[in-house]
């Protein structure tokens, strides 16, 4: 991921810049999706991050190597959004998943310490029902003591039936970022 640039924010599928392949980032509010984009692209401030949940309100498109987009979606599960905003969010995500012709993968991002919440599991089941390629990313590995990380990861893997596409990462100390980056690039190259 040598080149990375913010292109635009979109609220509906007709706002999408063009039909380049997409990797869509989904996850709860404040789980670290924007920080993950910054880590993957080696850019500190490419995607705006905030300690305040619910900051991302659009589908934010980041063009990578002029070949594909990383797309940061608004976080789900944020209680302070109005019913209309929640409905608009669901329509926006369903539209891109069902109507965009070039979805490479959906990256389901969740908190390693908390594990998959009910909302995460619902999203995971929904994505599986659409038969899209899913990459599971557990962030904030650094929030668990090093002595407990392996057992925590093993429990998580077991609960998910040992997926090969689960990456436990830390945006803070860059644990496993390179492995995830390589996996993404392999998927992009295979898609083309």
Edge-to-edge order in the sheet of strand 68-72:
4-10, 59-64, 68-72, 22-27, 103-111, 134-139, 166-168
What are the residue ranges spanned by the domains of the chain? 4-191
- The pLDDT tens digits of the residues spanning 111-137 come to 999 989 998 998 899 899 988 999 999
- The pLDDT tens digits of the residues spanning 136-167 come to 999 999 999 999 999 999 999 998 888 889 99
Which top CATH class is 4-191? alpha beta
Contacts of residue 156, defined as CB under 8 A and 6 or more positions apart, other chains included, come to 112, 115, 116, 138, 166, 168
- In this prediction, residue 83 carries a pLDDT of 62
């Amino acid at each position: 991921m040598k080149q990375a640039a913010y292109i635009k924010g979109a609220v509906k599928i007709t706002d999408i810049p063009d039909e380049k392949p997409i990797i869509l980032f989904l996850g709860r509010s404040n789980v670290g999706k924007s920080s993950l984009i910054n880590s993957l692209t080696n850019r500190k401030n490419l995607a705006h991050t905030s300690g305040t949940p619910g900051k991302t309100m659009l589908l934010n498109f980041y063009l990578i190597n002029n070949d594909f987009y990383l797309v940061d979606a608004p976080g789900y599960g944020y209680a302070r959004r109005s019913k209309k905003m929640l409905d608009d969010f669901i329509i926006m995500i369903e539209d891109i998943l069902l109507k965009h012709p070039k979805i490479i993968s959906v990256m389901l991002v969740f908190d390693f310490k908390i594990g998959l919440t009910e909302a995460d599991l619902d999203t995971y089941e929904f994505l599986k029902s659409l038969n899209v390629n899913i990459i599971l990313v557990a962030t904030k590995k650094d929030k668990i003591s090093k002595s407990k990380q392996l057992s925590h990861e093993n429990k998580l893997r077991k609960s998910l039936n040992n997926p090969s596409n689960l990456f436990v990462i830390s945006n803070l100390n860059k644990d496993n970022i390179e492995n995830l980056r390589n996996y993404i690039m392999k998927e992009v190259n295979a898609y083309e």
